[in-house]
Amino acid sequence: MLDIKFIRSNPQLVKEALKKRNLKFDIDSLLKIDESKRLLQQELDGLRQKKNQANDEITALLKDKKKPDVKIKQMKEIADTIDKLEAKIKTINDELQYLLLTIPNIPNDALPVGDARNNKIVRSWGENPKFDFKPLTHIQLCQHLDIIDFARASKISGSHFVLYKKDGARLERALINFMLDLHTKQHGYTEIFPPFLVNRKAMIGTGQLPKLEEDMYRLKDDDLFLVPTAEVPVTNIHQDEVLEESQLPIYYTAYTACFRREAGSYGKDTRGLTRVHQFDKVEMVKFVKPEDSAQELEKLVNNAEKVLQLLGLPYRVVMLSTQDLSFSAHICYDLEAYSAGMDSYLEVSSCSNFTDFQARRANIQYRRLSDKKLCFVHTLNGSGVALARTVIAILENYQQADGTIAIPKALIPYMDGKERITK
């Protein structure tokens, strides 16, 4: 959430930021509502002062054994006016807070302006595999090897769900364990295993609500949401807390299943594992000092890249443009792994710096050592990495002429020494 003081002081900057995102929002109307609230608050403060003064005068009259009836009547009238003003201010403040929750973060000046066509490839790694046969898609390979059953998953849960089986299930589990071990043992993250259901306040805190509610799975009887990503429960671990500067930076990593309705994705590529309603992901979340967040983002991206490098998956790092940027992000890099059967790059990780945007919403602060001042932390998160599409890349890039799949060397210990997936 943007600070209303920042918007007051920089209305043109905020308007330009919204323009870069191709979003329409009436900042002038917002500021009028804010001004109205502040004027009413001034009036309320004045009335409270008068009420206190009247109370003191009544006490003095009673002490002098004089009748305070007139003053009591005046105080009651003031109290009634205060009650009405407080109700009015609450209504205006609720409207103001809702509007503030719908304004996205300010994009970094370095981002290319425009839609996804303007995304910038920052660097690439690895060589795309070459075959002396026509590579199969992961759908064909899964059917041939009987490791994922799309038809039965649909029978159980509906379209765009997945039933892993045999070595498909083992590969999924191996990847989760491999990534958690990598991030905890080599990258310095603390492992978390959070709830898969979160409340509305947590979803607001990380910015999924109110904007993206239609994309979320909600349990209406409890007003709980299935997590769209571990970012939500893990970031909210420190909701409404004051951390000490000496505690920062804090690094967490977590596995969760992720649930997304993908309400706005119809018409996009939805074959096989490409776009599913439930998928597994290992997430990395950071809480850092503001002056460190830019450097911490680069380290975060490198941590996600290490996963793909150890798996031997060619990939590219893409800086997202202003219109492709998520609601809460200030800057974001996507990692896209190459997949041979589909002959395309698939997003397997998004690494974002949210600056203090989420911290303001979730009220996560830290106390500076130098002056004991309270400041909002900067939060970052990145997929380390998402599995459905990473599985696609492994199956398609490591396929053999006989239809088997070679296991990436880094995963062989996690597959109990097994080196191939065979029928």
State residue 65's pLDDT score.
84
Half-sphere exposure of 262 (CA within 13 A, CB side): 17
Q: Going from the N-terminus, what domains does the chain have, and what CATH number goes with each?
A: 4-101 (1.10.287.40), 116-421 (3.30.930.10)
Is residue 265 pLDDT above 60, yes or no? Answer: no
Which amino acid type is present at position 117? R
Contacts of 255 (CB under 8 A, 6+ apart): 176, 179, 180, 193, 230, 280, 281, 282, 283
pLDDT in tens, 9-51: 999 999 999 999 999 999 999 999 999 999 999 999 999 999 9
pLDDT in tens, 275-325: 999 999 999 999 999 999 999 999 999 999 999 999 999 999 999 999 999
Region 198-205 average pLDDT: 98
Region 345-366 average pLDDT: 98
Region 158-169 average pLDDT: 96
Would you give the DSSP letter of residue 399?
B
Is residue 162 pLDDT above 80, yes or no? Answer: yes
pLDDT in tens, 241-256: 999 999 999 999 999 9
Q: Following DSSP, what letter does each residue of 299-322 receive, concatenated?
A: HHHHHHHHHHHHHT--EEEEEPPT
Q: How far apart are CA 153 and CA 161, in angstroms?
A: 6
Reported for 51-59, long-range contacts at CB under 8 A and 24+ positions apart, including other chains, are: 51/75, 51/78, 51/79, 51/82, 54/78
Region 341-352 average pLDDT: 97
416: left (phi over 0), alpha (psi -120 to 50) or beta: left
State residue 68's pLDDT score.
87
- Say what percent of the chain tops pLDDT 70: 98
Contacts of 185 (CB under 8 A, 6+ apart): none
Q: How many CB atoms lie within 10 A of CB 306?
A: 16
Q: How far apart are CA 281 and CA 49, in angstroms?
A: 56
Q: How many CB atoms lie within 10 A of CB 163?
A: 16
Is residue 398 pLDDT above 80, yes or no? Answer: yes
Q: How many CB atoms lie within 10 A of CB 262?
A: 14
Residue 45's SS3 state is helix
State residue 69's pLDDT score.
87
Is residue 195 pLDDT above 80, yes or no? Answer: yes
State residue 267's pLDDT score.
52
Answer whether 0.85 is exceeded by the pTM: yes
Is residue 220 pLDDT above 80, yes or no? Answer: yes
Sign of CA dihedral 61, 64, 65, 67: negative
State residue 284's pLDDT score.
98
pLDDT in tens, 367-391: 999 999 999 999 999 999 999 999 9
State residue 269's pLDDT score.
65
Region 154-170 average pLDDT: 97
- Say what percent of the chain tops pLDDT 90: 91
Is residue 264 pLDDT above 80, yes or no? Answer: no
pLDDT in tens, 131-156: 999 999 999 999 999 999 999 999 99
Region 401-410 average pLDDT: 97
Taking each continuous run of H as one helix and of E as one strand, the counts in the chain are 12, 16
Is residue 266 pLDDT above 70, yes or no? Answer: no
